[in-house]
Amino acid sequence: AEPVAPDVKGCNKPDLPAGAKPIVCCPPNLEKKDPIDYDIPKWETLRIRKPAHDYDDLENYKKAVSMMKSLPDDHPHSWTQQSRVHCAYCDDSYNLYGQTHTKLQVHFSWTFLPFHRWYLYFYERILGKLIGVPNFAIPFWNWDAPQGMEIPSIFTDKSSPLYNSLRNPNHQPPTLLDLNWNGPGDVDTSGDEKTNLITMYRQVYEAKRPLSFYGSPFNADTPGKETSGTLELVPHNTIHNWTGDITQPNLEDMGAFYSAARDPIFYGHHANVDRMWAIWKSFKRNDISNPDYQNSSYVFYDENENLVRVKNSDAFDTKKLGYVYRELDLPWLNAKP
């Protein structure tokens, strides 16, 4: 089989859910550029991503996001373009390289974790570049521990660029996050700590086999036959849906692929998903050596506006990408059901 990659010359209109306002999600100037292989910088110091409830770089983050939001929509570093990266890779904008009918969808398979790691990596690098702070690090929404089991206050201040109005009005702080939220029909909207911790134990610690944690293979021969890994299903999907606005047609923003990354909380959520991957690896479990997995690749604009191609195998160690997560207690490790 062949690894998957986006055919950037074959970027088309996305396939949006009913009720969504039409948009095009292809990055700007694709016709004028050929992607170059990304050169990973040599890092002098590591960036340290910290939990949202104890984040000491909020002023820089707000400043950087405001700058993104004031760039013209067609600038590759604009807030609009950063959010459309998600739409492009998740709403069928790209053909799979070498194929004309099959689309690249990075969810529901082993591409989920590495794709989002790279996505956040460039988001963070661009923010740092905009404010001239090369070591800038984004916060993570620490939903796996009691301190993080509600929407973090850095995202709920209405005067902040990190605020977004399209969120579930019934899930505002101090409503406790429900990692097993079943969607708008789930009337019992508040979770409980103990159940959340047991859920974390089951979805991260107990998912010992790489393919159950990462998701099933996705290569040029198996498009459309993929299944999500345990972390992607719960709590990743459930938190997206829990956060999105039930008064919108598709739980926008967080509850729909095309709109999720318009909400600044998306990047905090995914930083914790990414952190869970790093923690899972610290349990010394086997990784996936299949070359289709190792060589799957994606294309992004980097902080210097170069169109670059990056591959999964360069994303297995956060230190190689210049960052680490602050170490915190993992109360769910003792939450065996």
Which chain residues interact with ligand C2O by CB under 6 A? 86, 90, 107, 116, 236, 240, 260, 270
> Catalytic annotation on 86?
yes
Determine which one of 236, 266, 269, 300 is catalytic.
236
User: Considering the complex, what minimum distance in angstroms separates the CB of residue 258 from ligand C2O?
Assistant: 11
Closer residue to ligand C2O, CB minimum distance, 201 or 257? 257
φ, ψ for residue 188, nearest 5 deg: -80, 85
Hey, what are 133's tokens? 């702070």
> Minimum distance from CB of 336 to ligand C2O (Å)?
27
Distance (Å) of CA 162 to CA 62, 157, 303: 7, 8, 21
Residue 283 designated active-site = no
Catalytic residue, from 257, 266, 269, 300: name it.
257
Residues in the chain: 337
The CA-based angle 204-325-83, given to 5 degrees, is 85
The nearer residue to ligand C2O, 84 or 116, going by C-beta atoms, is: 116
Nearer to ligand C2O, 50 or 86 (CB): 86
The minimum distance between CB 13 and ligand C2O, in angstroms, equals 19
Q: Residue 106's closest CA among 232, 230, 288?
A: 232
* Beta carbon of residue 238, minimum distance to ligand C2O (angstroms, whole number): 11
Cβ–Cβ under 8 Å, residues 253 and 177:
no
Q: How far is the CB of 240 from ligand C2O (least distance, A)?
A: 5
Examine the residue annotation and report whether 77 is marked as an active-site residue of this protein.
no
Query: Is 107 considered catalytic here?
Result: yes
Task: Report the distance separating Cα 262 and Cα 260, nearest Å.
Answer: 5
Distances (CA, A) of 291 to 4, 74, 108, 119: 11, 35, 19, 21
User: Between residues 67 and 87, which has the closer beta carbon with respect to ligand C2O?
Assistant: 87
Radius of gyration of the chain (CA): 19
- Annotated catalytic residue within 77, 116, 171, 269: 116
**Which residue out of 77, 171, 269, 270 is catalytically annotated?**
270
Distance of CA 38 to the CA centre of its chain: 20
Active-site residue flag, 270: yes
Nearer to ligand C2O, 26 or 90 (CB): 90
Given 240, 266, 269, 300, the catalytic residue: 240
Query: Is 171 one of the annotated active-site residues of the chain?
Result: no
> How near is the Cβ of 122 to ligand C2O at its closest, in Å?
14
Q: Which is nearer to ligand C2O, 95 or 228 (CB)?
A: 228
236 is annotated as an active-site residue: yes
Burial 64-86 (b: 16+ CB within 10 A, else e): bbebbeebeeeebbbbbbbbbbb
Q: Which residue has the tokens 């570049």?
A: 129
Q: Whose structure tokens read 């799979």?
A: 96
HSE-CB of 179 using CA atoms within 13 angstroms: 30
Element (H, E) at 44: none
Q: Which residues are part of the catalytic machinery?
A: 86, 107, 116, 236, 240, 257, 270
